[in-house]
Structure 1
Amino acid sequence: MAYKILSPCGRHSIPLSFFNMVSFSALRKVMENLAKSSGAMTEEQLDFLLLNLHHLSKYRAEQIFPSVNEYEILQIVCGNIRDFHRLKMNGCVEHEIIENVLPHFQLMAERIGHFLLDDDELIDRDYRLSKPAHLLLNIIPTQLEVMHMCHKNLKSSTSAEVGRFIEHLSETSPDILREYLIHLQVHMVNVITTSTSEARNIHVMIEFLLIILTNMPKEFIHHDKLFDLLAHVGELIREVSTLVRYLEENSRNEESTIDHATLDLMENIELMKEDLKHVYLKSPDSSQLYFPMSDGSLFMHLLLSHLNDLLNSNAYSVALIKEEIKLVKEDLEFIRSFLINVEQEFYKDLRARVLDLAFEAKDVIDSIIVRDNGLLHLIFSLPFVIRKIKLTKEEVPNLLDKIQKNKGLIIVKSPTKHVERKSLTTGQTIVGFKEETDLIISKLTSGPKMLDVISITGTPGLGKTTLAYKVYHDKSVCSHFDIRSWCTVDKKYDEKKLLEDIFNQVTGSASKYRDNIDVANELRKHLFGKRFLIVLDDLWDIAAWDELTRPFPEAKKGSRIILTTRDKKVALYAQCHSVPLDLRLLRPEESWELIEKRVFENGSCPDELLDVGKEIVQNCKGLPLVVNLMAGVLAEKEKKRTVWLQVRNNLHSFILQNEVDVMKVIALSYDLLPDHLKLCLIHLASFPKDKAITVFTLKLLWPAEGFLEQREMKSVEETVEVYLDILISSSLVISFNERGKHPTCQIHDLVHDFCSIKAREEKLFDLITSSAPSSSSSLDLMPRQMAIEYNKDRFWDSNFVLFDPKKRRHSGKHLYSLTITEDELHDSLLDICHLRHLRLLRLLLLHQSFIKVNDSLLNEICTLVHLRFLYIRTEVKFLPSCFSNLWNLETLWVNNDGPPLVLLPTIWNLVKLRVLAIYDCSFFDLDTDEPISITEDSKLEKLRILWGLKLSYSKDTEDLFKRFPNLQELSFNLKESWDCSTERYWFPKLDVLNVLESLKLTFESSNDSAPSVATNRLWDFFLPLSLKLLMLLKFPLTSDSLSTIGRLPELEELYLVDTIMEGEEWNLGEEDTFQNLKCLTLQRVTLAKWEVREESFPALEKLRPWECPKLEEIPPSFGDICSLKSIELWRSPQLEASALKIKQEVEDMTGEDRIQVVVDGIQVVVE
């Protein structure tokens, strides 16, 4: 039979509909003939199948993307089999050699034919896209058989046709074998769910073979040894395939008999590493990379942390080089410990050499893991850099001996020479801070007779020194003290010189003192019996305070010390009687007064410049340092509106011109931070300016980014809080903490600019807003973290980091963290969006506005085994079983657009999970009410937060929560389940959660209308005694139900939302006491009558009735609660009169304006 319809030369003129009709009919006939041929497959039949594959990939590319690559591989495999078959037909291969494989050819042809017919008929796109991978797994083993026969029987053939075939086979095999291994690995993860040493060994071997086959450097390999190498790889793949099939068949057995075989695989890896060295014509250039960053200490901290994480990971790629990573880490730690204890100016060459080697080691290790020229690095570069590091390490003992012999010349950790710094107040115009000035003067001139310390703390450039200077020169202060002295400390101070300076100010002399003079003692004698004021300006640490204040006597003369510091810890340590003053930002009117005085001196600003000037002031954000800089700029400019408009429009550039002054001030604080806190501070600049950052967000991101040092006896969350406290104490971070809201923090715009510059210098993160290459986007200088604000109008799609690296340019292989927000990715690009090449990723945040992750992308995410943080949007019902591969995952956040997502048993394998937030999700299939099998010992012991759960009654639900012994925050929807035996709603046993602090519950009624209150006790609440926050939404409640809640001893915040109260009343009896409740919020509660006693809420600080139209007044007994600070009303105008009455009565009784009344967000002031 002849198949001439689909000849290549005529394919462009054939209509697609005609092609489909003829192709379908012809395929049917081919399949019928194949079935009758009993193994006698013809070359013509194979040609026909090949042409169909070609036309399918060409004419239906849009329908089958991203499977085009698989179709191309299928064509190559079929072409190779066809050409091998042709060797037999041409008499180049004896029939005896090929006869055993002919049935495989026949079966392969039948499978391709059926695949083409199925593909033509299939409607379901997802199913169609999964078919090529399945077919590849079935037909590539046939090519492996061909490779085996060629290597065994045809390698020595003198036939030119055979030689050409083997050469073509060598060219095409790496891509074919690599594709097969990738699909085999995915197949293993999805099918073999039990974790065994055998499965792990197979995965490691697959990883090793993929490194060989990816970016194979053929120009370095002996041509005559290339086919031998590929044949050897093919043999190993055949062995691996057999073991995978065996594991699949026996995956349910507890014991396996193939352990010895998989151990042989591991031995093969080591043997092949040695053999590979002899395959190369020459070793590749191993010239050293040079350290590109500015802060070597910061880089070493990051690198050692990264290596430690790799050693603790279960990644198969890491298993290949685990011993090597351990050697690098140990040797670099040894060298680093030596360099830390030696002055910076000594051994500069050694420091530079070590940093170059460390950077080279990082590049080599990461390149192996991401398969970026991995084979070259594995065989040559890694052993070479290890040897160089070892040789450098061996130099250290000799250097230590040298240090010991030259003790007089080299001082370990010697203090840096003091550099004098002039006070920043010189020549400044001083305005603002009137209340603060009056307060400090009052503390200086009155108060206790004992020595007192008035501390001023705050952000760099905030005006601490200026304020101290202002009160220091106040006339009343000058006349009050017998002696005054001003001492600017600086962070690298000389104690003796500073004490001399104070002594000379006190005595009015200008002497210099010999070393044998005890200046401290002389100063103490001179101060004794006198009332003195000493300013210690810009003190940096507690040790400096202790040293400098030793000479100050504590006689009861009313003496004072003014201390300015950016570190609140120092102020708290120095505190005697007065509480430290945290200096605020300048108010807009104060900023304007400062600019007006400096620019116009004794005059006033012309009306035409007022609006522009105040806009400029607004952009200074209240930081005196910036206001002063801008005042200096305006003072030098013409007093014309056009000129000032130009300044306003170029405000940022004017500030940048003075960047050196601004950055020096901030750098002083930054330089004092340890490396891990520098990273945390710089990371805050990855958020937009002026954005309040929740502490909760940092608790998720900082661990994922690898910024935290391991701390015994402290949880991850506690460690983040400690880090933030230090940064806040250093005045580099501003903290906001309001009850009822998540604590937040923020950095000033100038600190943001400083950190952004540091981030670029240290290649830490990059913000991309278009496809234009950034300053640090070249591959060798890729930042650790990339944040992309994707805009479909600005991006050239071919440059986008997620696109398939085989088809498009990309620059993301070495990324550790990727965040993408803004526009939604165009539908036509979804199928070419890939993640598998980002193999080092620790953090992946694909914002819900950007992409809805499909099944294909979910399977690729499963290969990112280093992930610690994952945030995605999807609509699948089940996460794929391969998610068990993400052993390192700590945060899993899924915005679910589909039906409730059922958490398969594989979720219990993610033992490092701290946060699980999936809206909506369930551990049971709510459609069938059938439970998912959970083994007895399944627990998530590290889980702290579980959000988005849907729960209904099931016998298996009862013991669910005991599997989360350390859960601290929980939110779930409770489906209505009435227990006829108790005549109550069913409620889960949450009292097993002994450390739970926050609970949010939403009741889902089975009726469309809201549930009614039919009994006195609707619920038996099984709540943990540890609860501090409870939010109930849509719950029907009675007074008795609330009495049960009131007995929770630690409860501080209670929110009742959309609550139906029995009889529309809440009566609190004598025994009903919310002992520790500080905030009570009632939102849309059907409450008309409310009886409250003074003892009902003894600790209440904030009362918030919101949208409660049936409640006519706030019970007057709230006025008897001494702790009450505010009443906040929202859309409840009928309650305003009673709230103001309570406020007035309290003020009349106590004489204090103690209670704030806020109505619809506006504070009400009583005249």
Structure 2
Amino acid sequence: MVTVISPSTSGARNIHVTIEFLLIVLTDMPKDFIHHDKLFDLLARVGALIREVSTLVSDLEEKSRNEESTDKTSRATLDLLKNIELLKEDLKYVYLKAPDAFQWSFPMSDGPLFLHLQHRHLNDLLDSNAYSIALIKEEIELVKEALEFIRSFFLNFEQGLYKDLWARIFDVAYEAKAVIDSIIARDNGLLHLIFSLPITIKKIKHIKEEVFNISEKIPKNSSLTVANSTKKPVERKSLTTDKMIVGFKEETNWLITKLTCGPKDLDVISITGMPGSGKTTLAYKVYSDESVCSHFDLRAWCTVDQEYDETKLLVKIFNQVTSSDLKFSEEIDVADKLRKQLYGKRYLIVLDDVWDTTTWDDLTRPLPEVEKGSRIILTTRQKEVAFHGKGNTDPLNLRLLSPEESWELIEKRAFGDQSCPDELLEVGKEIAENCKGLPLVADLIAGVIAAREKTKSAWLEVQNNLSSFILRSEVDVMKVIELSYDHLPHHLKPSFLFLARWPKDTIVHRDVLKMFWRTEGLVEQTEMMNVEEAMEIYLDNLISSSLVIAFNEIGDLPTCKIHDLVHDFCLIKARQEKLFGRISSSDPSSSSSDLMPRIVNIDYDKDHFGPNNFVLLNSKKKRHSGKHLYSLEIKGDEMEDGLSDACHLRDLRLLRVLVISPSFMMVKDSLLNEIGMLNHLRFLRIGTEVKSLPSSFSNLWNLEVLFVDNGRSTMVLLPRIWDLVKLRELFMNASSFFDLDTDEPILIAEDSKLENLRELETLVLSYSKETEDIFKRFPNLQRLVFDLKESWDYLTERYWFPKLDFLTELDYLRADFESSNDIGPSSMINWSWDFHFPSNLKILVLYEFPLTSNSLSTIARLPNLEELFLTRTNIQGDEWNMGEEDTFENLKCLSFEKVTLAKWEFGEESFPVIEKLELCACLKLAEIPPNFGDICSLKIIQLVESPQLEDSALEIKQYVEDMGGDEFKVLGANNIPLSKTGSSLLFCCLEAKFTRVIYNVLMNSQLSFL
């Protein structure tokens, strides 16, 4: 029997605080500072306190079991705390020698940024409820309140006015961080607890008093120079995927002509230019041009960058040209497969950001030179590479923008469709001229201007900061990026710099970015907005500043990225501010640095790393800077068993984020138990094949995100999951609430709930009495993914489906059906389902579900459904006849993949707002219902592996155009536009048009007659 009960008692916390103190004494005792003649006396007192704690714990457990009053025990715990305070005094004056005063000097360059991060850190510590925090909670609160007062007063004034005081503020703030973190991490914790902390508190109080006296002397109505001018809030703008392109019209037309005309031989069109000149943007513009898309049989885009893996890039190209997502073993010759796939086809391959000739040779070797008019677009900063890869066409060296074009870009960026006011025109054009024709610079400066007041004085300030920049090198561009960075408010800077966590050219899902921001503690909740709202504003403001590029392709999740130069800047700045660092085979010694940053990424290479230089996880090294880490990610080669057995995490007590790639290590029981003791963890991603969450995970009460790659095993969640009270997102390959292989009865406490849980993926469900109501314990779920094992509900005489209608917050649901019949769901006789979907559902994905028209009608009645995806779905009778009551009121995207649908009929109001129809491998469907052409909102029909539907789709497109529509598209795989070719297809199109005209004439005649 599994019992989930978490008793709470008044004295338990005091006992845990006492235990934490005793552990610091025993495990972090400074041997060089103890009076050895007093050692045995000290150990005797510690032993007596341990026995006292043991007695109290036993008494507390017994009274809790018997539901007796614990008042007497609580009084005993207070006596215990008094004894601890007495021991602290004796440690200071009797048992320990006072060390020399620790010297702390602020090591970063951006003091206000550090104060912001320290404020966030102290807040998170106080919210963590960890026992190590309770030991010094009062001191942490005092430091936090003092720094809040200093920040609130001082950040409004120019640092130069009180330069010496500012320096002391930064030094003591850094000292407070170092001392508090050292106590929690048990890094000379006892010395810092007894000696350093009281001294630091005294310094902070003195500075606070000094600042208060200054504030009292300043007249309330006086005006002082402001350190960071208050700016108007950045307006939230409509973000599009198209990067604003000004100029380059002639270059665009020239490129399109070179791609679609000219010799049949394979040709290479190279685009060169300095960083930020718009090479990639221009290449993408012509790559996605409709005339170019329709001209080539196959297209692929491949971003190369400085470090590359030839095989991975060739696989990427192969998967694009084949519209697949295949993975190849090492023995397969990917280059040969790609060559065969391209042979005889007219293809367009873009190789973006190639840095050397060897890379060019490696990637182009598999590309066949067949006389089909194929083309390669090459973008590079290196002219040597461009001329090395030259074909029939000379490289295009991208010119700089003219001052007029730069001004046009800035004006559009700052004012949209409106014109610049006359009073700003002159200074605006001078700013544009100072951009020296570099689109990246113009765009960044435009972002600065857009965020400031539309006044001449504000614009003159920007102009004056630009006047000394001569943009002739990457260093100069960095200055402009830094100007944009300096204009960010302090609370946005760490969130922006964090983007360097990912490699260059990585497109990051916005939700993933926000998840890391939250768990890293980079976003602050205020009285006016919660964390989720704050993160949206953070991201929108960064995008509006042009430092971050937004992507939002139709039907895809919103994503973003940063320019290579911006990435370089972020990495340099993050290292400078000790925010972020990488450890790789190129510099393994960096793992032993005396001053670790907050966040460390390790790329493990077994040929270069070894036990001697991989010290971060070496518990035998008594003092190492890794103890002060807040975030750690390890990936790379698989670690050898001998080395992995020597790795430990127990000393990394401050960790908030831990990512251990399964390719590096599958975590075993012993290391899992150590992870369970890291009670500051907010984010955990690991690979493991254990059957259930270990008992030590009960300590992870601050955990918000849990990713587990558990291979093909199914992990049992209960009862441990109830202890993860702050858990928001849970992702596993396969998990179940209960052990599916046992019939052992299950007992769950009535109050067991996870009210913070928002995402749960992937559950394995089958019918049981306990499963029926389990989702009521996750009332705020927003996203749910599960595999449903076939279960018959004898009460309803239908196949069982969990009741979800009470999940009022759920807006995304994916369910995969697993039939008990080896032949599959198509062999089932009764296909009826007892669906109970929540009315708020917006996205529904059903995989391998056998459905009837009635089941589809149930789905159609969901009032807020916006996207419906049916994959490998068997529809009873291969027919879907939608009645008048079957109306998808808000459906915008309908996607069918391998759906057994042969006949499809629907009414005028069935899909009133649909925008996109996707049909993939729907081979039984002979044509798309023509009345889709009468739906004004429909913009896209996309067909993949459905050639028999192309004619009807194009007829619908022609009909829409005849009715005056000009935005309708018919797309194939990879978003390539489809069009009719050949006289027979043209005749079919004209015939369809003529039939429509005759039909309309007859209908109008009948209406007139009536």
Contact 1:974 1:1001 in 2 (8 A): yes
Specify the alignment match of 1:5 in structure 2: none
Specify the alignment match of 1:355 in structure 2: 170
Superposed, 1:270-419 pairs within 5 Å as: 270-280=85-95, 282-404=97-219, 411=225
Specify the SS of the correspondent of 2:816: strand
- Residue-by-residue CA offset, 1:95-121 (whole Å, 9 max, x unaligned): xxxxxxxxxxxxxxxxxxxxxxxxxxx
Specify the SS of the correspondent of 1:1097: coil
Deviation of residue 1041 (structure 1)?
0.6
2:789 corresponds to 1:975:
yes
Contact 2:831 2:876 in 1 (8 A): no
Task: Find the aligned partners of 1:395 and 1:465 in 2 and give their Cα distance.
Answer: 54
Specify the SS of the correspondent of 1:233: helix
Shifted more, 198-207 versus 293-302: the winner is 198-207
2:248 corresponds to 1:432:
yes
Specify the alignment match of 1:847 in structure 2: 661
Deviation of residue 246 (structure 1)?
4.7
Superposed, 1:492-507 pairs within 5 Å as: none
Unaligned runs of 5+ in 1: 1-189, 417-429, 438-458, 475-479, 494-534, 551-561, 567-625, 633-657
Specify the alignment match of 1:736 in structure 2: 551
Task: Find the aligned partners of 1:768 and 1:846 in 2 and give their Cα distance.
Answer: 14
- Residue-by-residue CA offset, 1:88-145 (whole Å, 9 max, x unaligned): xxxxxxxxxxxxxxxxxxxxxxxxxxxxxxxxxxxxxxxxxxxxxxxxxxxxxxxxxx
Superposed, 1:286-685 pairs within 5 Å as: 286-404=101-219, 411=225, 432-433=248-249, 466-468=403-405, 486-488=425-427, 538=446, 540=448, 545=453, 547-548=455-456, 658-685=473-500
Contact 2:592 2:616 in 1 (8 A): no
CA 1:536 to 1:710, structure 2 compared with 1: closer, same or farther past 3 Å?
closer
Deviation of residue 858 (structure 1)?
1.2
Specify the alignment match of 1:224 in structure 2: 37
Deviation of residue 317 (structure 1)?
1.1
CA 1:851 to 1:890, structure 2 compared with 1: closer, same or farther past 3 Å?
same
Deviation of residue 390 (structure 1)?
0.9
Greater helix share, structure number: 1
Task: Find the aligned partners of 1:1156 and 1:855 in 2 and give their Cα distance.
Answer: 54
| 2:640 maps to which of 819, 826, 831 | 826
Shifted more, 218-227 versus 539-548: the winner is 539-548
Contact 1:1129 1:1160 in 2 (8 A): no
- Aligned letter for 2:426? C
CA 1:931 to 1:1022, structure 2 compared with 1: closer, same or farther past 3 Å?
farther
- Aligned letter for 1:847? S
Task: Find the aligned partners of 2:203 and 2:663 in 1 and give their Cα distance.
Answer: 48
Contact 1:433 1:467 in 2 (8 A): no
Task: Find the aligned partners of 2:571 and 2:446 in 1 and give their Cα distance.
Answer: 25
CA 1:492 to 1:839, structure 2 compared with 1: closer, same or farther past 3 Å?
farther
Contact 2:920 2:946 in 1 (8 A): yes
Contact 1:904 1:923 in 2 (8 A): yes
Task: Find the aligned partners of 1:481 and 1:703 in 2 and give their Cα distance.
Answer: 39
- Residue-by-residue CA offset, 1:848-907 (whole Å, 9 max, x unaligned): 222111111111111101000111111111111221211111111112235321112231
- Aligned letter for 2:140? I
- Aligned letter for 2:550? S
- Aligned letter for 1:397? F
2:842 corresponds to 1:1005:
no
Contact 1:766 1:776 in 2 (8 A): no
Superposed, 1:162-311 pairs within 5 Å as: 194-246=7-59, 252-255=65-68, 256=70, 258-280=73-95, 282-311=97-126
- Residue-by-residue CA offset, 1:752-811 (whole Å, 9 max, x unaligned): 1111111011000111112835669523x2100001111211212333255332268854
- Residue-by-residue CA offset, 1:1084-1135 (whole Å, 9 max, x unaligned): 1122222234432221111111122222222222222222222222222222
- Residue-by-residue CA offset, 1:974-1006 (whole Å, 9 max, x unaligned): 221112332211121100011111000111212
Deviation of residue 718 (structure 1)?
3.0
Task: Find the aligned partners of 1:987 and 1:296 in 2 and give their Cα distance.
Answer: 57
Task: Find the aligned partners of 2:742 and 2:404 in 1 and give their Cα distance.
Answer: 70
TM-score (norm 2): 0.74
Task: Find the aligned partners of 2:901 and 2:148 in 1 and give their Cα distance.
Answer: 66
CA 1:252 to 1:826, structure 2 compared with 1: closer, same or farther past 3 Å?
farther
Specify the SS of the correspondent of 1:972: strand
Shifted more, 233-242 versus 847-856: the winner is 233-242
Task: Find the aligned partners of 2:585 and 2:801 in 1 and give their Cα distance.
Answer: 52
Specify the alignment match of 1:772 in structure 2: 587
Shifted more, 1095-1104 versus 927-936: the winner is 927-936
Task: Find the aligned partners of 1:1035 and 1:538 in 2 and give their Cα distance.
Answer: 51
- Aligned letter for 1:986? W
Superposition RMSD on alpha carbons, in Å?
Answer: 3.6
Task: Find the aligned partners of 1:673 and 1:749 in 2 and give their Cα distance.
Answer: 19
- Aligned letter for 1:1082? F
2:780 corresponds to 1:966:
yes
2:956 corresponds to 1:1146:
no
Task: Find the aligned partners of 1:1051 and 1:1008 in 2 and give their Cα distance.
Answer: 33
Task: Find the aligned partners of 1:948 and 1:787 in 2 and give their Cα distance.
Answer: 28
Deviation of residue 949 (structure 1)?
1.1
2:785 corresponds to 1:785:
no
Specify the alignment match of 2:672 in structure 1: 858
Task: Find the aligned partners of 2:4 and 2:615 in 1 and give their Cα distance.
Answer: 30
Task: Find the aligned partners of 1:909 and 1:1022 in 2 and give their Cα distance.
Answer: 29
Contact 1:1059 1:1086 in 2 (8 A): yes
Superposed, 1:51-200 pairs within 5 Å as: 194-200=7-13
Specify the SS of the correspondent of 1:797: coil
Superposed, 1:706-785 pairs within 5 Å as: 706-712=521-527, 714-770=529-585, 772-773=587-588, 778-779=593-594, 781-785=595-599
Task: Find the aligned partners of 2:543 and 2:421 in 1 and give their Cα distance.
Answer: 37
Task: Find the aligned partners of 1:665 and 1:898 in 2 and give their Cα distance.
Answer: 50
Task: Find the aligned partners of 1:753 and 1:243 in 2 and give their Cα distance.
Answer: 57
Deviation of residue 400 (structure 1)?
2.5
Specify the SS of the correspondent of 2:628: coil
Deviation of residue 1146 (structure 1)?
2.1
Task: Find the aligned partners of 1:1053 and 1:191 in 2 and give their Cα distance.
Answer: 38
Deviation of residue 830 (structure 1)?
2.8
Deviation of residue 1059 (structure 1)?
0.8
Contact 1:460 1:731 in 2 (8 A): no
Contact 1:914 1:945 in 2 (8 A): yes
- Aligned letter for 2:674? E
Specify the alignment match of 2:834 in structure 1: 1020
2:938 corresponds to 1:1124:
yes
Task: Find the aligned partners of 1:340 and 1:881 in 2 and give their Cα distance.
Answer: 46
Percent of residue pairs bearing the same amino acid type = 62
Deviation of residue 276 (structure 1)?
0.6
- Aligned letter for 1:279? V
CA 1:487 to 1:196, structure 2 compared with 1: closer, same or farther past 3 Å?
farther
Task: Find the aligned partners of 1:760 and 1:286 in 2 and give their Cα distance.
Answer: 28
Contact 1:825 1:851 in 2 (8 A): yes
User: Which of the pair has the greater relative contact order for Cα pairs under 8 Å at 6+ separation?
Assistant: 2
- Aligned letter for 1:283? A
Contact 2:444 2:545 in 1 (8 A): no
- Aligned letter for 2:821? N
Contact 1:1105 1:1130 in 2 (8 A): yes
Shifted more, 911-920 versus 363-372: the winner is 911-920
Task: Find the aligned partners of 2:681 and 2:420 in 1 and give their Cα distance.
Answer: 63
Specify the alignment match of 2:264 in structure 1: none
Specify the alignment match of 1:957 in structure 2: 771
Deviation of residue 973 (structure 1)?
1.3
Shifted more, 996-1005 versus 766-775: the winner is 766-775
Contact 2:831 2:850 in 1 (8 A): no
Specify the alignment match of 1:1047 in structure 2: 861
CA 1:746 to 1:264, structure 2 compared with 1: closer, same or farther past 3 Å?
same
Deviation of residue 287 (structure 1)?
3.4
Task: Find the aligned partners of 1:289 and 1:378 in 2 and give their Cα distance.
Answer: 16
Shifted more, 1101-1110 versus 279-288: the winner is 279-288
CA 1:733 to 1:253, structure 2 compared with 1: closer, same or farther past 3 Å?
farther
